[in-house]
Chain A
Amino acid sequence: MSDLANPDALATLVGKATTPRPAAGYWTAVGRRLKRDPVTIIVTLLLLAIVLMAICAPWVTSYDPYAGSVMRRLRPIGTPGHWLGTDETGRDLWTRLAYGGRLSLLAGVAPVMVSLLVGGLLGITAGFMGGLTGTLIMRTMDVFYAFPSILLAIAICGLLGNGLTNSIIALAVVFIPPMVRIAETVTTQARHLDFVEAARASGTTTMQIIRHHVLANVLGPILVYATSLISLSIILSAGLSFLGLGVTPPQAEWGLMLNSLRQSIYVQPYVAALPGVMIFVTSMCFNLMSDGFRSAMDVRLSK
């Protein structure tokens, strides 16, 4: 009451109520919320830096990632000329990490992209069609679900032989079933929402409903899930190389580097841990970024 009696308070109330809201679209609002989330901004910038480091590897270092020297083996962090030290064959670790990012990111992101395309399409189809088509798709996915993901990836890699392409294929196969399931779940939910039914009741055609009401409400969650899968994918692909099933030496890749530095863990523990740190930081950044997008895209959590 006292608040309302105060003319200033009244003025702000009235002012607030009568100012027409700007005609902001949904994505503008999402951007606005993202800008107010420092964690998401920081991890996104960090990821950008890592990606830039990988892409610009030849320019951020003057060393050759493959040229080592027995004279400079296993130097500690902070050695002049090799600020992150050297590995067991005397190659500059900063150079190896930067070049390694290229393969590690590729091996982590590509399977998710493939599974996003294939799995997303299958899932949305299954969710929207339902019935026999939906059941057929979902039961097929259940067969893959029966295997633990890492074992399935190892089995496929073992079958196809090692190498980058095969590791990407193996992980894509592993990620398609959960992607289908997520896409199917959100699509089924969207299809049964009252507003989809209301649109149908007002004579909107099926294609219009999919375009305007289902896709818009489904794409966000699917993309967010894909981003969080990248986090897992980076760890799994590094794991495959660590086991010798992915990228082959002497190529630079974080998982592979972690494996070859393993023997030196007692000599240079900090140097040996660096590839692991890169895997962890990158994976965590994708995870946090996905969380940030998730909450920014939830209209109910606004303001």
Chain B
Amino acid sequence: MSAALLPVPPVDPRDRGGPAQPLLSVTDLRKHFPVYGGLLNRRVATVQAVDDVSFTIAKGETLGVVGESGCGKSTTARLVMHLIRPDAGSIVFDGEEVGSQAGLSVAEMRRQMQMVFQDSYSSLNPRLTMVDSIAYAPRMHGLPARQAVARSEQLLAQVGLNPALFARRYPHELSGGQRQRVNIARALALEPRLVILDEAVSALDKSVEAQVLNLLAELKARLNLTYLFISHDLNVVEYISDRVLVMYLGRVVEAGPVEEIYGRPRHPYTRALLASKPTLDPDRRTTVLPLSGDPPNPINPPSGCRFRTRCRFAQPACAEMLPPLLPPVDAAPGDAQHLVACILPEAQMNAEPRHAA
């Protein structure tokens, strides 16, 4: 492997706050989509796609986001990327607020933050060759064409595609895994610090998925990257993440280090989700009832705890208030690593540890 085609200095000159300052810190992010309908095309309802979502990502960390389809994972990613405008909330990138007067402009932010989309085919312009697709953004940022192409070929090599073979190909002439490598190369073309991967491996075959995951891990180490990794695949998230965020109907229900979430899940939803996770080991099959039914409609989420319509611990109290995201009831004082949004201590407590030692 041609090591370090792009040599990375030990300390990124763009690093402002030092290693202790989170690279990304999102506070109370909210996006409610209006739904139009009826004869006059008036606003008839609101989809609460993302509701008061807060999280931080430390430098060099991989934050995994899991949750069922429609829980707002992609919307969160697009909000963070400023592809859609948030209704409320703030996004702070390495200490600077994005989009505010004094802080980082959206354009500057996008040089440091890039995204890989789920559909490897539709995220590439069918009329551009691979080398042109990758070179496009650097060229638009003023890099001369010749240099942009040279750089783009380097990037192809870096993601494991021989430029002599792949540079002049069109998207339809590549396999899904190869295309996703190109998408990763394109995301890296502007030398970002944070890469958002929205279901980036979900459409790939298992074997190809493993290769791409390894590539991501390798690139992360070599280029000092930080990942926001979105997936509905619990195994993949467990494999790649340092910390995990569990979302349900637009809200964060549990957050914490990956061993905590997978080893000692607290929220009844997390537990049900993990119980429904496919596993090949019969000893590990739990007796917790897996999740049944579809999540309720985000247009009219239940009052109080949004999970209560499917929660086997649900009580009248659960309908009264939205449970805040707090350390679990039996957490050691001052330990704010693991956070749960559930008001019932017994619901949090009688977790049978999945990995019983």
Q: Which residues of A pack against B, CB within 8 Å?
A: 17-18, 20-24, 26, 193-195, 197-205, 208, 212-213, 216-217, 299-300, 302
Q: Is the CB of A204 within 8 A of B140?
A: yes
B140 contacts A21, CB within 8 Å?
no
Q: In the complex, are the beta carbons of A217 and B126 less than 8 A apart? A: yes
Report how far A36 CA is from B225 CA in the complex, Å.
48
The residue of chain B having its C-beta at the shortest distance from the C-beta of A298 within the complex is: B126
A200-B126 contact, Cβ under 8 Å, with A21-B169, A23-B168, A299-B170: no
Interchain CA distance A193-B120 in the complex, whole Å: 12
A195 to B339, CA, bound (A): 36
Report Cα–Cα, A21/B173, bound state, in Å.
12
Interface size class of B (residues with CB under 8 A): 20 to 34
Chain B residue nearest to A203 in the complex (CB): B110
Minimal beta-carbon separation of A71 from chain B (angstroms): 63
Considering only residues 85-140 of chain B, those with a C-beta below 8 Å from chain A are: 107, 110-111, 114-115, 117, 119, 122-127, 129, 133, 136-137, 140
B165 within 8 A of A: yes
Nearest Cβ in chain A — how far from B159, in angstroms? 16
CB-CB nearest in chain B for A20: B164
* Cross-interface CB contact of B172 among A20, A22, A299, cutoff 8 Å: A299
B356 close to A (CB within 8 Å): no
Q: With a CB–CB cut-off of 8 A, which chain A residues contact B137?
A: 199, 202-204
A26, A195, A208: which contacts B140 (Cβ < 8 A)?
A: A208
A197 — which chain B residues lie within 8 A by C-beta?
83, 117, 123
Q: Which residue of B lies closest to A17 (CB)?
A: B165
Sample 6 A-B pairs with CB under 8 A, ordered by A number: A18-B164, A198-B115, A202-B136, A217-B125, A300-B126, A300-B172
Q: Which residues of B contact A302 (CB under 8 A)?
A: 170, 172-173
| Residue in B83, B133, B170, B173 whose beta carbon sits within 8 Å of that of A201 in the complex | B83
Contact residues in B for A203 (Cβ distance below 8 Å): 107, 110-111, 137, 140-141, 190
Contact B117 A217, beta carbon cutoff 8 Å: no
Closest residue of chain B to A21 (Cβ to Cβ) is B168
Instruction: Please determine whether A299 and B126 come into contact, CB atoms closer than 8 angstroms.
Output: yes
Determine whether the beta carbon of A216 is less than 8 Å from that of B127.
yes
Closest to A190 in B: B125
Query: Given that A21-B169, A23-B168, A195-B122 are known contacts, is A202 also in contact with B127, CB under 8 Å in the complex?
Result: no
Complex: chain A residue closest to B77, CB-CB: A201
A contacts with B: majority SS: helix
Bound CA–CA A18/B165 (angstroms) = 7
B186 within 8 A of A: yes
In the complex, the answer to whether A198 meets B123 with C-beta atoms within 8 Å is yes
Across the interface, which residues of B come within 8 angstroms of A199, CB to CB?
Answer: 125, 136-137
* Residues on A with beta carbons closer than 8 Å to the beta carbon of B123: 194-195, 197-198
Cα separation A24 to B167 with both chains bound (whole Å): 12
Query: A193, A194, A302: which has the most chain B beta carbons within 10 Å?
Result: A194
Other A-B contacts than A198-B115, A202-B189, A217-B126, 8 sampled, CB-CB below 8 A, are A197-B83, A199-B125, A201-B81, A201-B114, A202-B136, A202-B137, A216-B125, A299-B126
Bound-complex Cα distance A202 to B186 (A): 9
Per-residue CB contact flags for chain B residues 128-165 toward chain A (1 = under 8 Å, else 0) read 01000100110011000000000000000000000011
**Contact, CB under 8 Å: B111 / A194:** no
B83 CB contacts on chain A under 8 angstroms: 197, 200-201
Q: How distant is the Cα of A261 from the Cα of B284 in the complex, in angstroms? A: 89
For B81, what are the chain A residues with a Cβ–Cβ distance below 8 Å?
A: 201
State the B residues within 8 Å of A (CB): 81, 83, 107, 110-111, 114-115, 117, 119, 122-127, 129, 133, 136-137, 140-141, 164-165, 168-170, 172-173, 183, 186, 189-190
Report chain B residues within 8 Å CB of A21: 168-169
In the bound complex, CA of A25 to CA of B173 (Å): 15
Report if A194-B190 is in contact (Cβ < 8 Å); known contacts: A202-B110, A203-B107: no
Quick check: A20 and B168 within 8 Å, CB to CB? yes
Closest to B190 in A: A202
Among B127, B133, B189, contact of A26 (Cβ-Cβ < 8 Å): B127
Closest 4 CB pairs of A and B: A202-B137, A194-B123, A203-B110, A194-B122
A12 to B133, CA, bound (A): 30
Q: How far is the CB of A233 from chain B (nearest CB, A)?
A: 29
Chain A residues with Cβ below 8 Å from B189 are: 202
Q: What CA separation (Å) do A23 and B132 show in the bound complex? A: 11
B170 pairs with A198, CB closer than 8 A: no
- The complex places the Cα of A141 from the Cα of B282 at a distance, in Å, of 63
Residue of A nearest to B105 (CB): A203
B75 to chain A, nearest CB (A): 13
* A198 B186 Cβ-Cβ under 8 A: yes
Find chain A residues with CB under 8 A from B119 CB. 194
In the complex formed, the residue of B with least CB distance to A198 is B123
Residue of A nearest to B141 (CB): A203
- Bound complex: CA A33 to CA B140 (Å): 31
A22's nearest neighbour on chain B, judged by CB, is B168
Please give the distance in Å from B229's CB to the nearest CB on chain A: 17
Q: State A204–B172 Cα separation when bound (angstroms).
A: 24
Instruction: Enumerate chain B residues within 8 angstroms of A193, measured Cβ to Cβ.
Output: 122
Q: Which residue of A lies closest to B117 (CB)?
A: A194
**Nearest-CB distance from A14 to chain B (Å)?**
12
Contact A217 B172 (CB under 8 A): no
Nearest B-chain residue to A193, judged by Cβ? B122
Closest CB in chain A relative to B153 CB, distance in Å: 12
Most chain A CB inside 10 Å of its own CB: which residue of B115, B124, B127, B140: B127
Measured CA separation A193–B121 after assembly (Å): 10
